[in-house]
Amino acid sequence: MKERKGKLKYIRYVLIYLMLIIFIMPFYLMVINSFKTTQQFVTNPFALPEKIGFGNYVNAFNKMNFLQAIGNSVVITVISIILILLTSSMAAYFLVRHPWKINKVIFAILVASMIVPFQAIMIPLVSIYGSLNLMNSKWVLIFMYMGFGQAFAIFIFHGFIKNIPGEMEESALIDGCNKIRLFFRIVFPLLKPVLVTVLILDVLWIWNDYLLPSLILLSPAERTLPLSTYNFFNTYSVDYAPLMAGIVLTIIPILVVYLFSQKYIIEGVVQGAIK
């Protein structure tokens, strides 16, 4: 019996590591081939590179306007998320603490809106903002993310704030604290665990989003990282090698962040899904 259990355990390890190897094989192949010439890559994509040169990387870095693209991505992601976190937590707090009829209706509309796929909004969105001449601006895009991010964030904050007793806030109000200060001094710090959840899910969404920015940001100078990757591939599709370096460059920033915060990221995904 014991021997059988030991054997089973052994099989389990072999199985799981085999699967992991298959899973991360694509990344490994990208990295080794990003150091080769196109010719070497086509002849044998499995061989290790003969020498490590960064020519492909320099090439990709320049052609993608990497610094500009990553700068745009950072600005858009960071500002959108700050705005989402501030406005949705305030709204959720108000909805919980003031159970008026209208607030219940608003909350129901917000929750229901989560099922609307982006494709149902995209055409009117482009036609409205296009005719108002509001295209091609990061700030308009940030405003859109702020709008699209509300429903989910409010839903998560609402569920959390419901379980916070209101006595502390009442005594602060009696002491003459105004409502905004009360919110930021007392309530906001308590939200930390859910703030992290919403933050992580929104980073993964906004940082990697392609469709919305591709509709709004039309000029090359405004391109985010996914847009610049797409453009790079469509313009230089003949010469493979720098493209692979471009992919590795695009992945590196998020992998570095992941390395330091994987625990929070995985926990955030679980929390976001369960609620």
Partner 1 sequence: MNGNRKLLNKIGSFVLFMGPSLFAFTCVLLIPLVYGIYLTFTDYSPIKMSYEFVGINNFKAVFSDKEFWQQFGKTLKYVLYSTIFCNILAFLLAFLLTGNIKGRDFLRAGFFTPNLIGGIVLGYIWKFLFSNVVTKLGEILDYQFLKTSFLTHPERAIVSMIIVTVWQYAGYLMIIYIAGFVSIPQDVDEAAEIDGATGFRRLWHITMPLMVPSFIICFFIIISRGFMTYDLNLALTNGQPYGSTRLAAMHIYQKAFQANEYGIGQAEAIIFFVTVAIVAVTQVLLTKRFEVEA
CA 224 vs. chain centroid, Å, equals 13
Tokens in use for 161?
């704030």
Q: Give the up-direction half-sphere exposure of residue 78: CA atoms within 13 A in the CB hemisphere.
A: 6
Binding residue for partner 1 (CB under 8 A) from 6, 10, 19, 67?
Answer: 19
Binding residue for partner 1 (CB under 8 A) from 7, 55, 62, 118?
Answer: 118
The dihedrals phi and psi of 53, each to the nearest 5 degrees, come to -120, 150
Q: Report how far residue 37's alpha carbon sits from residue 51's, in angstroms, rounded to the nearest whole number.
A: 11
CA 26 vs. chain centroid, Å, equals 21
123 touches partner 1 by CB under 8 A? yes
Which residues in 10-23 are b (16+ Cβ under 10 Å) and which e? eeeeeeeeeeeeee
Q: Per CB under 8 A, which of residues 91..110 are in contact with partner 1?
A: 91, 93-95, 98, 106, 109-110
Binding residue for partner 1 (CB under 8 A) from 13, 54, 139, 184?
Answer: 13
Write the CA distances from 41 to 3, 28, 146, 233, 241, integer angstroms: 47, 14, 43, 17, 7
By rule CB under 8 A, what string of x and - marks binding of each residue 180-199 to partner 1?
A: x--x----------------
Environment class of 143 (CB within 10 Å of its CB; exposed 0-12, middle 13-18, buried 19+): middle
20 touches partner 1 by CB under 8 A? yes
CB of 229 to partner 1, least distance (A): 6
CB of 54 to partner 1, least distance (A): 20
Q: Applying CB under 8 A, which part among 57-65, 161-169, 191-199, 255-263 lies near partner 1?
A: 255-263
74 touches partner 1 by CB under 8 A? no
Q: Report how far residue 11's alpha carbon sits from residue 253's, in angstroms, rounded to the nearest whole number.
A: 36
CB of 62 to partner 1, least distance (A): 19
15 touches partner 1 by CB under 8 A? yes
CB of 271 to partner 1, least distance (A): 9
The sign one gets for the Cα dihedral 122, 209, 146, 113 is positive
CB of 169 to partner 1, least distance (A): 13
CB of 149 to partner 1, least distance (A): 9
Q: Per CB under 8 A, which of residues 41..60 are in contact with partner 1?
A: 41-42, 44-46
Binding residue for partner 1 (CB under 8 A) from 16, 58, 82, 105?
Answer: 16
CA nearest neighbour of 29 among 49, 5, 51, 45 = 45
Report how many residues bind partner 1 under the rule CB under 8 A.
Answer: 86
**What's the one-letter identity of residue 255?**
L
Q: Per CB under 8 A, which of residues 197..236 are in contact with partner 1?
A: 204, 207-211, 215, 226, 229-230, 233
Q: Give the up-direction half-sphere exposure of residue 38: CA atoms within 13 A in the CB hemisphere.
A: 8
143 touches partner 1 by CB under 8 A? yes
